[in-house]
Amino acid sequence: MNARPADATQLRPMRQADVEAVSEIEKRAYPFPWTPGIFRDCLRAGHQCWVLEGGVKLLGYGVLSAAAGEAHILNICIAPEY
Q: What is the pLDDT of residues 20-56, one digit of tens each?
A: 999 999 999 999 999 999 999 999 999 999 999 998 8
DSSP for the chain, written as a single string: ---S-TT-EEEEE--GGGHHHHHHHHHHH-SSPPPHHHHHHHHHHT-EEEEEEETTEEEEEEEEEEETTEEEEEEEEE-TT-
Instruction: Determine the pLDDT at residue 56.
Output: 86
pTM confidence score: 0.86
Check whether domain 9-78 has CATH 3.40.630.30, yes or no? yes
Instruction: Determine the pLDDT at residue 65.
Output: 96
Instruction: Determine the pLDDT at residue 78.
Output: 97
